[in-house]
Every structure is written in structure tokens, then in C-alpha cells.
Amino acid sequence: MTPVVYLDNNATTRVDPLVFEAMRPFFSERYGNPSSMHAFGGSVAADLRRAREAVARLIGASPEEIVFTSGGTESNNTAIHAALEAFPGRRHIVTSRVEHPAVKNVCERLARKGYRVSFVPVDGRGRLDREALLGQLGPDTALVSLMWANNETGVIFPIPEIAPLVRSRGILFHTDAVQAVGKIPVDVEAAGVDFLSLSGHKFHGPKGVGVLYVRRGTSFAPLIVGGHQERGRRAGTENTAAIVGLGRAAELAREELEAGAYERVRRLRDRLEQGIRERIPRVLVNGDPAERLPNTLNVSFEYVEGEAILLMLNEHGICASSGSACTSGSLDELQLRRGRVADHGHQGSRGVVGFGLHLGLARAQPRAPGHGGALHRRAWLDPLQPQPLHDRAGHRTRPRGAAPDHRPPAGALAVLEEGGPGLQPRVPAGVTGAGRRGDGRPVFQRAAAARFAARPASNQSTQASSPSPVRAEVSKTGIPGWTWRM
């Protein structure tokens, strides 16, 4: 059995065991409806109150400003809806070009309905053009919605600096902080935002539960109408177990932030980045190296097809992603700002890898010898939970009943290291060699059975040509990006 190294924590995190234990009684023992008049349900309402207080403490809010939702997507939709309801005569929204689809797609849909939407650009490092943002504001602007931290590059927007400038003009301000809460300190009172969205599964809480922070005194209209739950701001019987889990995850995240967990994770990220730079040529780190999430590293490798690398990484027990439900298109925007526009006839693709480091690192957890997985030589993520993998046919990789093998995968990133153990240059199935370019770079052409969908190539680097240790491992079909998140 190959142990799993999970590097996709910006997409989702595992539920912390302490969170799971807090949730367990609410499935089959304390299952009362918190809106009921009887004591059996009323006691559950007290647990919801404690969860609300825990979330409020995590983001510097008051408990009555917390509205429980089904997740970040609902929170974002509700905030935008509420702002437009608050200013029915205003028809203008300002957001950025690198927002999560839960904001971007909503704005595009509103644009088709007659609203005017301004998408503010970012620079080559993913930083927001602040002057362009302020230049878009006007008397018709109802809302500015900006993410606190980007889910792909980890770039942090200066929300505490921007929000007061926006609100001073009588415009509501919403921030999608799904990727920020639990990873960096967030204080809604100090930032001066009107709305903030967060989601429990991004910091070791359960899926299907989130929060919309609504500043006290802000005009609000519910998106989901029905019963009186959440003070009439979000109808529907509360997802008690998930809300309790979210509250416990908020408590743990607050403890870890106060203990300096984000600094520990940042050092791991920097160590990984250094190891990649030392071992692999033609590497570019995407995003702002100074202002980014401590757990996120987004890297481009030239002449690499993302999907092919993902398949090879999977063979080594490394879970990675070339995109997810959280893909925002920010990498395309960064490439555009760097001048690397699509050009099918020039230089080749750049495979993008986004690492999302494990967040629950403050509490030391025991690990059996050899337990876990190597990121690169001697760099460990703690704690990792090895899980059995299956081969491509869906069969078990060890006999049923056999003892699990918890040894770390030897050379887990061998496919990305020059001369890595056991690495033999090969061409993926369905891709045939077709000689070399004039600059000595190999050119692969697709066979009829090629399994990877071609996408526009990127007009890439001007660095001197040198052999890439992984160039022979993948087809050169022009896929511009892929994403790992640890």
C-alpha cells in the first residue's frame, strides 16, 4: 500500500478528530430541533449559541452578527443579494478578475440581467490595482466584493486598507474570506467590512456549513425565506451537528493561530519552495512572495503538462490538483499580466502546481516510525494519515486483510527531481516523439489515442534553454496550468 500525501488543503481539509467527536452526539443522541419549545430541543439551542460565540471570537465579531449558512457559496450569494436589496436604485457592482466563481459567476449573471459590473485587474504578482478599484466607484455603486486571500496563489488583498475607503463613500463592502479565516488573523471590526463569508471545511471543520458575518446595523434581506431561524436571516432547520463542528473547528483554529501555527506552516512552505527551486530548473513562483497565505505555494514548471504530472504523482501517493471547485482563473490573469498570452506556435506550456499545506500543525500528534509522507527530502508534513490506494482498474493494491504498510513513499517527488530514484524517462501513452525544435527542445505530437485535452499554450519564459528533468515525462500539448495545494 502506498501512503497518501495530501496536498490539496485549499480545496478542502480533513475534519479534525476533535471536531468529529464534538459532532458525534448530535446525529443519534442529541438530535432535537433547536427551535422546539421542549427541553430536549432547547438544550441543543444552547450548543448552537456556544458555536456562534466561538466563530465570533475567531473573526472578532459579536455573536448576533453571525448567520449560519450552508457554506461559502451561499454566504457570498446572500451578501450580494442583500446589498442590491439595500440599494434597489443602484445598479453597479465592483469586484476583481480573480474572484472565486461563487462571486464571479454571480456578478456575470447579474450583468446579463442589466446590472453593470466592473472587474478590477491584478498585476503580474496577483496584487489588486487599488487605484483602478477606487476609480470605478461612483454614486451608482451598491457593493464592492473582494476576496481576502486568493485560493490559487494565496495572494492576500489589503482588505483592512480598502474597506474603509469604500464604506466612506456610502458603499457596502463584502469580502470572501473563505481561504483566509483560520489561516491568518482576521478581525472584522478592525477591517471595517460589512459582510464576510467563511466556510468550515477550509479549516478542519465539516463540509456543508459556513457563516455570513453581517455588521450590526447593516441593511439586510435574506436570500432563503421561510421560518424564523437565524433571527429571520436564513430560514431552514439548523444543521446542528455541522454547526457544532464548525464552532469546535473555530476554537481550535483560534488556539493554533495564537500559538503561532501559521508561522510554522510558513516555514514549511518556504522549505518546500527552496527544495523545488534547488532541484528543478525553469521554475516560477506565482503570486506575491511577501503577501500570501502561509500555507500556499503556487509554482509553474515550463514545458510540463499538468494532467500528466498529476497521474504520475498519484502513482507515488501524492494527492494534487490541476483545478478544483475553488479554481478562480487567477493564474490565467497572472499570465496575461506577465505578457504570457496564448501562442500555439511558441515555446510551450507551463504546468502550474499549487501546494496547500496542512493547517492543523500547532498541536503535536504522535506518529509511528515511518508514518506519513515525504514532500521532498527530509521535509515532513505532520500529521499525515496514510490511506490505501487502488490501481486504475479499481483493485486493491494489497491482499484483503494484509497489514497496511505505513512506510513513507520513497522519493515522493522523484518525478520532479533530476535523477530521482527509480525515475525512467518515458512518454505517456498516446503521445509520440516527433524530433526536436531548432533550439533543441523536444517536440511531442499527439497520437490518435492521446487522453489529454489540448488547451492554449502560453508564450513563456525567455530563460536560456536547458534540459528539463521532467520534459520527457509529459506530452507538450500546451496546457497552461495545474494546481497542488498542501
What pLDDT, on the 0 to 100 scale, is given for residue 327?
56
What is the separation of C-alpha 181 from the centre of its chain, rounded to a whole number of angstroms?
Answer: 12
CB 61 within 8 A of CB 67: no
HSE-up (13 A, CA, CB side) for residue 102? 25
Tell me, what amino acid is at 57? R
Mind listing the pLDDT tens digit for each residue in 215-225? 999 999 999 99
Q: How many CB atoms sit inside 10 A of residue 112's CB? A: 8
Does an H or E element contain 21, and which? helix 17-23
- Kindly tell me if the per-residue pLDDT of 341 is higher than 50: no
Confidence of residue 480 (pLDDT cuts 50, 70, 90): very low
In sequence order, which ranges of 38-194 are alpha helices (DSSP H)?
39-59, 72-86, 101-112, 130-136, 159-167, 188-191
Q: Which of 34-38, 160-164, 303-307, 479-483 has the lowest mean pLDDT?
A: 479-483
Superfamily name with CATH number, domain 5-10+260-473: Aspartate Aminotransferase, domain 1 (3.90.1150.10)
Q: d(Cα 113, Cα 293) in Å, to the nearest integer?
A: 35
- Kindly tell me if the per-residue pLDDT of 442 is higher than 90: no
Q: What fold is seen in the domain 17-256?
A: Aspartate Aminotransferase; domain 2 (3.40.640)
- Kindly tell me if the per-residue pLDDT of 20 is higher than 90: yes
**Which cell goes with 195?**
459582510
Of the candidates 82, 177, 186, 326, the residue annotated as catalytic is 326
CB 382 within 8 A of CB 367: yes
**Which cell goes with 229?**
431561524
CB 68 within 8 A of CB 230: yes
Sketch the domain layout of the chain as residue ranges: 5-10+260-473, 17-256
Mind listing the pLDDT tens digit for each residue in 384-438? 333 333 333 334 344 444 444 433 333 334 333 333 333 333 333 333 333 434 4
- Kindly tell me if the per-residue pLDDT of 133 is higher than 70: yes
Catalytic residue check, 319: no
414 CB contacts (<8 Å, ≥6 apart)?
Answer: 316, 420, 421, 422, 423
Q: How many CB atoms sit inside 10 A of residue 383's CB? A: 17
What pLDDT, on the 0 to 100 scale, is given for residue 21?
98
Q: d(Cα 78, Cα 234) in Å, to the nearest integer?
A: 9
- DSSP conformational letter for 66: E
Mind listing the pLDDT tens digit for each residue in 187-207? 999 999 999 999 999 999 999
What pLDDT, on the 0 to 100 scale, is given for residue 2?
65
Confidence of residue 304 (pLDDT cuts 50, 70, 90): confident
Q: What is the DSSP string of 311-330?
A: HHHHHTTEE-BS--TT--SH
**Neighbouring-strand partners of residue 446:** 431
